[in-house]
Amino acid sequence: MGDTSVKKVESRHSPKGEMGQKYLASGVRLSMRLWEDEPPGEPAPATARDYETVGFVLKGRAELHLEGQVILLNPGDSWLVPRGSSHTYKVLETFSAVEATSPPAAVHGRDEGKDAGKKAPAKA
């Protein structure tokens, strides 16, 4: 029989990270996080992360600056940031998004610390 563990996370009780992200359900190889009502502002310096990120825009607009490209993110759009890619986000309108990271961003400090920076929406 396979793994029968079930995890449910209510976002209103989720722990928050240093950058304002809410940590949602997390497994061994994949995790989710939520960015809620991130305000417009200038992007943080670009960073590269030791995980892959996919995201989905719930509301608002932002620019994803990824390896010299600028991708406009609107409600209903999804995106990918490959592992190790230099990127940052510029929120244009109050922004909410859900992201999944693999491996989990919160494990082993991948999501926090000296190179994390304060940026939105994904801070990834």
* Residue 115 counted as domain residue: no
* Residue 5 counted as domain residue: no
What letter does residue 121 receive in the DSSP assignment?
Answer: S
Q: Tell me the C-alpha distance between 83 and 49, whole Å.
A: 6
* Residue 6 counted as domain residue: no
Q: Tell me the C-alpha distance between 116 and 124, whole Å.
A: 8
Instruction: Read off the pLDDT of each residue in 15-21 and give the average, rounded to a whole number.
Output: 88
* Residue 108 counted as domain residue: no
CB 31 within 8 A of CB 104: yes
For the chain, what is the domain count?
A: 1
Identify the domain containing residue 72 by its residue range.
Answer: 15-102
* Residue 39 counted as domain residue: yes
Residues in the chain: 124
* Residue 76 counted as domain residue: yes
pTM for the predicted model, two decimal places = 0.82
Residues above pLDDT 70, as percent of the chain: 86
* Residue 51 counted as domain residue: yes
The CATH number of residue 85's host domain is 2.60.120.10
Cross-strand bridge partners of residue 100: 32, 54
SS3 content of the chain, % helix, strand, coil (to 5): 5, 45, 50
> What are residue 10's phi and psi, to 5 degrees?
-90, 120
pLDDT in tens, 20-50: 899 999 988 999 999 999 999 999 899 999 9
